């Protein structure tokens, strides 16, 4: 872990513990190659489907008319142009990013010193407001992550499987960057004091990994506390033994009841928030996590009253309260 001076500067004894000691451009190249491959494959499939449709139209015309069609059906219809989303590309290159980059450079073992450095880097990036008077996630991505190095960092932060570069996501220090933490927004809040609610909800997918972004923008239904506790209890039961899993370490709800119950359409991480398991458990959560999909800056009351265990070792783990005035 870094040492913090009174002014908030970070110092390291090991010169290798720097952001630039990691070849981020390789992660950017992996994503770029996957993007081109995914786009090419999608366009090829669209072209083939378009060709079949034109042939079908020509055949239908000939069947219903004595004279053949003298024009070209393909001129009457716009040829489809393929588009691929960030989520699609990240899904396609997930394995390569994790094996050829994250695992290759042992990022999980470097997380204790790397993540605070990334917080400082991202937290000091400038923001831009849009016509709604809210911070634009799209502009933030485009304006700040604009070099191979920074794009490589961006693709790491957009990973859904944060356990690939963080250990034990429900414990310190990993929980400060884990599944319920929108890292870019978190860094900006920690360094510059920008609340999560100051970001445009419609652009959050550009700066938050898809699994958390889906939970943040989903219009969750208003559910009674007793309903949530019932769904939580059912979702923690182990099918083979009938015993309950620990709500502190279980990262999602299980069970067939989820298919038709009140949480059936709710994204997985929103279920975690609503039922207060895993990172959202009162003994695990921090004020910088998204704990309420409808109010990003709030910390809901515990479903079950419990004494929150405080981490007394602030020197090594409780970086949230450390100064970041750099």
Question: Is-above-0.85 flag for pTM?
Answer: no
pLDDT over 50 at 275, yes or no = yes
Give the pLDDT confidence of 189-217 residue by residue, as tens digits. 999 999 999 999 999 999 999 999 999 99
58 three-class SS? helix
* Final residue of a structural domain among 57, 73, 105: 105
Question: Residue 42: what pLDDT?
Answer: 85
Give the pLDDT confidence of 135-190 residue by residue, as tens digits. 999 999 999 999 999 999 999 999 999 999 999 998 999 999 999 999 999 999 99
- For residue 221, which of 265, 188, 180, 254 has the smallest C-alpha distance? 265
Question: Residue 87: what pLDDT?
Answer: 86
Residues 111 and 205 in one domain: yes
- Whether residue 276 is contained in a domain is answered as no
- Whether residue 193 is contained in a domain is answered as yes
pLDDT over 80 at 320, yes or no = no
Question: Residue 154: what pLDDT?
Answer: 97
Number of residues in the chain: 326
Instruction: Please tell me the least confidently modeled range out of 60-74, 138-152, 202-216, 280-294.
Output: 60-74
Range of the domain at 188: 106-209
Q: How far apart are CA 232 and CA 217, in angstroms?
A: 22
Residues in contact with 89: Cβ distance below 8 Å, sequence separation at least 6, in sequence order: 31, 34, 35, 38
- Whether residue 301 is contained in a domain is answered as no
**Bigger pLDDT: 72 vs 93:** 93
- For residue 20, which of 124, 94, 110, 95 has the smallest C-alpha distance? 110
DSSP state, residue 303 = S
**Count of alpha carbons within 13 Å of 256, Cβ hemisphere only?**
1
Backbone angles phi, psi at 11, to 5 degrees: -130, 150
* Final residue of a structural domain among 50, 83, 105: 105
Question: Residue 9: what pLDDT?
Answer: 37
Give the pLDDT confidence of 212-236 residue by residue, as tens digits. 999 999 999 899 999 999 999 999 9
Residues 95 and 114 in one domain: no
Residues 184 and 157 in one domain: yes
What is the tally of structural domains in the chain?
2
- Whether residue 124 is contained in a domain is answered as yes
* Final residue of a structural domain among 179, 209, 239: 209
- For residue 319, which of 72, 95, 1 has the smallest C-alpha distance? 1
Residue at token pair 């081109």: 36
Residues 144 and 55 in one domain: no
């Amino acid at each position: 872990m870094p040492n913090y001076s009174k002014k908030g500067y970070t110092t390291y004894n090991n010169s290798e513990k720097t952001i630039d000691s990691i070849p981020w451009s390789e992660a950017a190249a992996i994503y770029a190659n996957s993007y081109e491959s995914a786009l090419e494959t999608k366009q090829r499939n669209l072209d083939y489907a378009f060709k079949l449709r034109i042939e079908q139209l020509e055949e239908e015309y000939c069947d219903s008319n004595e004279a053949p069609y003298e024009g070209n059906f393909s001129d009457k219809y716009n040829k489809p142009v393929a588009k691929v989303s960030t989520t699609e590309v990240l899904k396609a290159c997930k394995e390569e990013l994790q094996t050829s980059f994250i695992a290759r450079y042992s990022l999980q073992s470097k997380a204790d010193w790397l993540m605070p450095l990334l917080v400082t880097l991202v937290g000091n990036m400038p923001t831009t407001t849009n016509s709604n008077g809210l911070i634009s996630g799209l502009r933030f991505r485009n304006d700040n992550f604009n070099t191979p190095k920074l794009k490589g960092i961006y693709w790491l932060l957009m990973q859904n499987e944060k356990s690939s570069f963080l250990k034990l996501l429900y414990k310190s220090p990993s929980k400060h960057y884990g599944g319920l933490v929108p890292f870019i927004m978190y860094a900006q809040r920690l360094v510059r004091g920008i609340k999560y609610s100051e970001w445009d909800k419609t652009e959050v997918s550009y700066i938050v990994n898809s699994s958390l972004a889906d939970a943040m923008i989903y219009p969750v239904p208003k559910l009674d506390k007793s309903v949530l506790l019932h769904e939580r209890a059912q979702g923690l039961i182990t099918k083979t033994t009938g015993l309950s899993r620990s709500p502190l370490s279980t990262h999602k709800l299980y069970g067939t009841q989820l298919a038709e119950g009140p949480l059936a359409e709710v994204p997985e991480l929103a279920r975690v928030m609503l039922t207060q398991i895993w990172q959202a458990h009162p003994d695990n959560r921090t004020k910088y996590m998204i704990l309420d999909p409808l109010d990003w800056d709030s910390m809901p009351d515990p479903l079950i009253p419990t004494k929150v265990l405080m981490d007394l070792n602030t020197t090594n783990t409780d970086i949230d309260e450390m100064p970041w005035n750099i």
